[in-house]
Amino acid sequence: MDFNDTPEQAKFRATCREWLEANAQLKADKVHMNVESSLENHLKTAKEWQQKKYDAGWAMLHWPKEFGGIEASPIERIIWGQEEAKFNVPGGIFEIGLGMCGPVMMQYSTEEQKNRYLAPMAQGKEIWCQLFSEPAAGSDVAGLRSKAEKDGDDWIINGQKVWTSGAHYSDFGILVVRHDPDLAKHKGLTFFFVDMKSPGITVKPIKQITGQSGSGSGFNEVYFDDVRIPDSQRLGEIGDGWKVAITTLMNERLAVGDARGADIEEALTLSKTKDDAGETLIKNDAVRERLADWFCDANGLKYTKFRTISALSKGEAPGPEASITKIVSANKLQSIGNFGIDSGDMAGMLIDDDSGMSSFQGAWLGAPGLRIAGGTDEILRNVIAERVLGLPQDPRADKGLAFKDIPTKA
Amino acid sequence: MNLDFSDDQKYLQEEARKFFEKEGGLGNARNVMDQSQDADHELWNKIVELGWTAIRVPEAYEGLGLGHLELCVVAEELGRSLAPVPFASSVYFFTEALIKYASEDTKKELLPKLVTGEVVGTYGIAEDSHQATEANIQVNASADKLNGTKIAVPDAGMASHMIVVAKSSQGIELRLVDLQDSSIIVTPQKNIDTSKSFYKVEFNNTPSTLLGQSGEGWNYIQHLLDQAAVLFAFEQVGGSQAALDMAKAYSLERFAFGRQIGSYQAIKHKLADMYIAITLAKSNCYYGAWALSSESSELSLAAATARVSATKAFQLCSKENIQTHGGNGFTWEYDCHLFYKRSKVLSVLLGSEATWKEKLVQNLEKTNTLVKE
């Protein structure tokens, strides 16, 4: 039992580190909230950084060599991620493309399409998004109802997508739609990729409870009005949309990790420095008990991650333990955010950049979204119960019905 | 990064699991309960024959000279099967105290006998219904004589020797006593988990031997408690997993309203929460195991974290296992109560959850670097 790299891993880490030091700046300190720069500036620096990484071979480590990757092992991706995270570099723009859209294109598109799309994706020249969720299809995403109708060699798409990260600055997107409502829910779906500049597509940023909209990788609604997609942009067979989507969603579940933000460190620092009636908060028994609980959760998650990395490091498949990460971290974030605001008493609600309260307010406002995005707490509990513990699925009221006959309203 | 047990250690764990299954699993704890025994002596003898009491004893004293990680994997299996034996008292506590603090003569005399099972050890800390502190220990050591009373002493009926936390004019001391001495009165105390036995032990001018330095006893006992907390946490994780497995099996076989109860989200989410608690506890145990085996200065923090996390997990899993079983879970016949009772006894045996949370936070107050990666 140790926390050391193997000699090969240490060598790989040193290579990562050397390149990063030559090309980026170390973070002075842990930064939780990105300082808001304009979207254009953020995109520009993100694209430049991506191109730089591409030129040096760091852009998409896990991709096959034929598409410009180095077929890095999972542990090498983790090492690169750990090292890159120590540097002040832009992120959050290309993850969906490189993590989900790229692999789907590799598996299902034609040679010609692979040659056309994969390199610009990896170079950061073209940004991709994922168009799955709909207003009436969230956790039950296979219940989506955007329509695809065949018209000669084209398909005509009508409907609405929602919660599409980065749609407002994306060049392309992957899309699941319903080509036949007479078939059962999962059978009537077909998968495409689409040019986001196509006539008939309207992108509207969603204003979130944080008050933000469209900043960073913000969410959008995407409307399709008679959008024409050539059949050549279909990925997989007609009716295979669910199968293709599942492959992509598996990648999303891997990509969605910790809920980042105020954590036990911030709670502890606050408790040691902030006073209440002349005594630091940490002297309060109620605070002490909560610190102990958060530490057990934070430390438990940290070493859960280490167990996963240890398995990968030995070339073994990791156990299912990583499935607890988001549910535990998002709830802890909400609880710590709440604690921080409470610590300010009546002033806790006031927004004042100098009060030290903003990271707790940010955590408290952002946490409800993190408990939903990438699988709600409830869906994740179902996933643990069904896939890890092997319990049966709930009986489904829509089983065996044609999609058009599935009850939707009382 | 290798936060995992070695193949040899995993093999030992596998063997331990098979051993307890073959020897009757939970049936042993149930027999001890139903027949009002103090422990399962036959099971204990077999454990001694397997060499598990020799794991930590150095080779110079006829032991195996292995590390703490081997104990961790065995502890998890003891916990899973609720084995009614004095392993924790004798191995996690008594043996470690001798290895660490006893004189060469004492080691030569007792360690080989711990290996063969001729000596079984235990320990006494508590004196009344308050948390034991450096200030409130009353058992008195004067010259080589001990006077006073310890309560809730585990396995004292079976044990031949005992470590006693006592006060002297020099401060707190650890004293070693031979329980066969005629000055000692050992009286069984009823407790909520009758698969375990606890005793009141009275000393009346009882001869005793000082372990280590006089006045250092409180530091010694804290260190021994930290070490034992990691091993107890592995037992608690083993018990938690067994309770979850039992709840899961029942939720698959029991039908209500025409379907398996395990297909209801109310049950699924309950079991998922048990899995989450176990996973966190287990990962904290690995951290504890690392700190224990590497003699890290983080041991105190790691032990408290593993202990609190595992205590929470076992209490959750054992109570929700009963709930999943409905009325059956409240019967003597079903095994659910065995886990429920053991989880409570383990949660107070080394000091309460509140005590360990306090210890955890005291460690956090001292440190500046935390969950950093």
Among the partner-chain residues A1, A292, A328, the one whose CB lies closest to the CB of B361 is A292
Query: Residues, chain B, total?
Result: 373
Among the partner-chain residues A288, A304, A386, the one whose CB lies closest to the CB of B357 is A288
Asked if residue A56 has pLDDT above 80, the reply is yes
pLDDT at A31: 47
Three-state SS for B53-81 is: HHCCCCHHHCCCCCCHHHHHHHHHHHHHH
- The whole-number average pLDDT for the span B225-246 is 98
Residue A122 and residue A63 in contact, taking contact as beta carbons nearer than 8 Å: yes
Lowest mean pLDDT among A24-28, A237-241, B209-213: A24-28
Beta bridge partner(s), residue A279: A276
Segment B241-279, tens digit of pLDDT: 999 999 999 999 999 999 999 999 999 999 999 999 999
pLDDT at A67: 83
Chain B residues with CB inside 8 Å of A272's CB?
Answer: 365
Interface test mutation site (partner A, options B2, B244, B257, B372, max chain A beta carbons within 10 A): B2
C-alpha distance from A318 to closest chain B C-alpha (Å): 12
With an 8 Å Cβ cutoff, are A307 and B3 in contact?
A: yes
Q: In this prediction, does ipTM exceed 0.90?
A: yes
Q: One-letter amino acid identity for A7?
A: P
Asked if residue A81 has pLDDT above 70, the reply is yes
Interface test mutation site (partner B, options A6, A13, A287, A299, max chain B beta carbons within 10 A): A299
Size of interface A-B (CB pairs under 8 A): 164
Residue A316: pLDDT band by 50, 70, 90 thresholds?
A: confident
Give residues with Cβ within 8 angstroms of A167, minimum separation 6.
A129, A131, A161, A173, A196, A203, A220, A222
Most confident residue range from A208-222, A388-402, B223-237: B223-237
Q: Smallest Cα–Cα separation from B57: which of B11, B118, B16, B123?
A: B118
Asked if residue A186 has pLDDT above 60, the reply is yes
How many Å apart are CA A333 and CA A287, to the nearest integer? 16
pLDDT at A33: 44
Three-state SS for chain A is: CECCCCHHHHHHHHHHHHHHHHHCCECCCCCCCCCCCCHHHHHHHHHHHHHHHHHHCCCCCCCCHHHCCCCCCHHHHHHHHHHHCCECCCCCCCHHHHHHHHHHHHHHCCHHHHHHHHHHHHHCCCCEEEECCECCECCCHHHCCCEEEEECCEEEEEEEEECCCCHHHCCEEEEEEECCCCCECCCCEEEEEEECCCCCEEEEECCCCCCCCCCCCCCEEEEEEEEEEEHHHECCCCCCHHHHHHHHHHHHHHHCCCCCCCCHHHHHHHHHHCEECCEEHHHCHHHHHHHHHHHHHHHHHHHHHHHHHHHHHCCCCCCHHHHHHHHHHHHHHHHHHHHHHHHCHHHHHCCCCCCCCHHHHHHHHHHHHHCCCCCCHHHHHHHHHHHHCCCCCCCCCCCCCEHHHCCCCC
Q: Which residue of A has its CA nearest to B7?
A: A1
C-alpha distance from B295 to closest chain A C-alpha (Å): 12
Asked if residue A285 has pLDDT above 70, the reply is yes
How many Å apart are CA B243 and CA A166, to the nearest integer? 45
So what's the architecture of A257-372 in CATH?
Up-down Bundle (1.20)
Q: Which residue has the tokens 């168009």?
A: A131
With an 8 Å Cβ cutoff, are A306 and B3 in contact?
A: yes
Asked if residue B194 has pLDDT above 70, the reply is yes
Average pLDDT over chain B, rounded to whole? 96
- How many Å separate Cα B97 from the centre of its chain? 15
pLDDT at A350: 92
Task: Catalogue all structural domains in chain B, each as residue range(s) with its CATH number.
Answer: 7-116 (1.10.540.10), 121-215 (2.40.110.10), 218-366 (1.20.140.10)
**Higher per-residue confidence, A311 vs B12:** B12
Among the partner-chain residues B2, B282, B308, the one whose CB lies closest to the CB of A1 is B2
DSSP conformation class of B264: S
What backbone phi and psi angles, to 5 degrees, belong to B2? -140, 70
**Which CATH class, in words, describes the domain spanning A128-254?**
mainly beta
- The whole-number average pLDDT for the span A55-60 is 90
- The whole-number average pLDDT for the span B44-51 is 98
Asked if residue A322 has pLDDT above 70, the reply is yes
Segment B121-152, tens digit of pLDDT: 999 999 999 999 999 999 999 999 999 999 99
Q: Smallest Cα–Cα separation from A292: which of B354, B77, B319?
A: B354
Q: One-letter amino acid identity for A303?
A: Y
A336: left (phi over 0), alpha (psi -120 to 50) or beta: alpha
With an 8 Å Cβ cutoff, are B2 and A298 in contact?
A: no
DSSP conformation class of B2: B
What is the pTM (predicted TM-score) of this model? 0.94
Asked if residue B373 has pLDDT above 70, the reply is no
C-alpha distance from B302 to closest chain A C-alpha (Å): 9
- Look at strands A172-178 and A128-131 and give their pairing: parallel
Residue B291: pLDDT band by 50, 70, 90 thresholds?
A: very high
Asked if residue A32 has pLDDT above 60, the reply is no
Q: Which residue has the tokens 């009373």?
A: B149
Asked if residue A29 has pLDDT above 80, the reply is no
Q: Smallest Cα–Cα separation from A236: which of A179, A197, A182, A172?
A: A179
Residue B371: pLDDT band by 50, 70, 90 thresholds?
A: very low
Segment B331-361, tens digit of pLDDT: 999 999 999 999 999 999 999 999 999 999 9
Asked if residue A36 has pLDDT above 80, the reply is no
Segment A64-73, tens digit of pLDDT: 888 878 888 8
Residue B370: pLDDT band by 50, 70, 90 thresholds?
A: low
Chain B residues with CB inside 8 Å of A328's CB?
Answer: 276, 280
Q: Where in chain A is the domain with CATH 1.20.140.10?
A: 257-372
With an 8 Å Cβ cutoff, are A82 and B69 in contact?
A: no
Q: Where in chain A is the domain with CATH 2.40.110.10?
A: 128-254
C-alpha distance from A76 to closest chain B C-alpha (Å): 12
- The whole-number average pLDDT for the span A236-258 is 78
Residue B163: pLDDT band by 50, 70, 90 thresholds?
A: very high
3-state secondary structure of B185: strand
pLDDT at B220: 97
Residue A40: pLDDT band by 50, 70, 90 thresholds?
A: confident
3-state secondary structure of B187: strand
With an 8 Å Cβ cutoff, are B283 and A282 in contact?
A: no
